Amino acid sequence: MRVRTPRSRGASRHPRPQAERRALPVRRGATHGEGMVTEPGSGPATPTLTISEPRDIVAAIPYLLGYHPSDMLVVLGLCGSSARARLTFRCDLTDETSRHVAEMAARIANTLDAHGCDAALAVAYGPASRATPCVDAVRAELAAIGITLREALRVTGDRYWSYLCAAPHCCPPEGMPADPARSPAAATAVLNGLTTWRDRDQVRQYIAPVEGADRDRVRRATMVAERRGEELLARRAASERDPFGVAFRTEGVRVVRETVAAACRGELPEAPDETAWLGVLLTCVRVRDEAWARISTGARSEAAGSVHVGLWRQVLRNVEPAYVAAPGSLLAVAAWRSGDRALAEAALDEVDRARPAYSMAQLLRQALRAGLPPQECEPTPEWLERVSPVAGEPDERHP
């Protein structure tokens, strides 16, 4: 998504847009806790959202993040005369943040400076008691290192206030209506098919594990799947270097290929024994990477990407916690490929809770924070077969 941002007018107390607006390419997304999303290096053309006044900033932020924020500070770093987006910094406004406002503000300022940003926009969502101290601290830190804050807003409920303007005709004490429906930025986003999650809780609920009787069936199916896995492991030859062995690896790759092909036909694994067996097989890195490669070669369009999102969401929700890491990471890849970084981050959060040190999730998190395109860290089927043949010994290990 491209956003055109306002530029300040010299000594004006409230930065307002100029006739000459600057393009600000931004891909929506957010990081876990704190972090940044930098401009992607490739990908399909994205719409341009025109920001001509503060309400447009408020309207555009949810499309940058992928969901409607609450209790959060969002700082958009801009760079150069073209006001090109360099990063988006997101920080939850919690009691912990309130106790460490100075450190948070310094971290934001230093991060923007390190990435070459010379201007910024800040929007704080939440009550003034939490938002104002954070915005004030950020304003001071940015001013100290020469980064221009073009606009600073607080959004509480359905109204917004500017920290840079006290003129009652444009910034009354009771605030201004934050009405996205009146913003050309929101209208452009909707017309171009961009959508947002209601909030982060909605994303979490979307991938929440099944419960009740369904969870009981998952547990029983998992015990059966684990016994099947043990039988395959027992067939591993003593001379094999791979701890899973050829039999396990071959069965896993076969099942992954058949499952992905079925998903492309609209057939998701419904039975608990199917998802449980997939969960067990995906503990083998070679099997997991086969699924990863199928996403990278199959998700060439948004529609195709949604197939993989649906598949790995289904598996993630229907496996036991011990088997969450692989399908959760695969869902993150599929969501990332589909342009839904909010969902990708939520999936990685699930992995973090289950396996904090899972290497694939750590790699994906770093890539998302670095703003790399998905293909920068994706395997291909050809590469996998070369370095880790299904029926032979791997030439090298990979994370």
Mind listing the pLDDT tens digit for each residue in 52-86? 688 888 888 888 788 889 999 999 888 876 666 66
* Contact criterion met (CB below 8 Å) for 328 and 347: yes
The mean per-residue pLDDT over the stretch 223-246 comes to: 92
Contacts of 89 (CB under 8 A, 6+ apart): 34, 35, 36, 74, 75, 76, 77, 108, 111, 112
pLDDT of residue 279: 98
pLDDT at 11 over 50: no
On whether the CB atoms of residues 60 and 2 are closer than 8 A, the answer is no
Report the relative pairing of strands 22-25 and 176-177 from DSSP bridges.
unpaired
Among 168-177, 217-226, 242-251, 386-395, which stretch is predicted with the lowest mean pLDDT?
386-395
**pLDDT for the residue numbered 320:** 98
Q: What are the structural domains of the chain?
A: 2-196 (3.40.140.10), 204-387 (1.25.40)
- Spatial CA neighbour of 398 closest among 314, 293, 308, 321: 293
| Residue 177 DSSP class | E
The percent of residues above 90 in pLDDT, for the chain, comes to 51
Range in 5-14, 200-209, 283-292 the model is least confident about: 5-14
Percent helix, strand, coil in the chain, to 5, is: 50, 15, 35
Lowest pLDDT segment from 85-99, 214-228, 277-291: 85-99
The one-letter code for the residue type at 220 is R
**The amino acid at 183:** S
Bridge-based pairing state of the strands 2-5 and 48-50: parallel
Closest to 277 measured CA to CA, from 320, 242, 311: 320
Distance CA 290, CA 286 (A): 6
Q: Which two tokens stand for residue 343?
A: 């969902």
Tokens of 253: 């790759």
Kindly report, residue by residue over 312-368, the tens digit of the pLDDT.
999 999 999 999 999 999 999 999 888 888 899 999 999 999 999 999 999 998 887
Pairing outcome for strands 159-162 and 176-177 = antiparallel
Phi, psi (rounded to 5 degrees) for 160:
-135, 155
Per-residue pLDDT, 373: 72
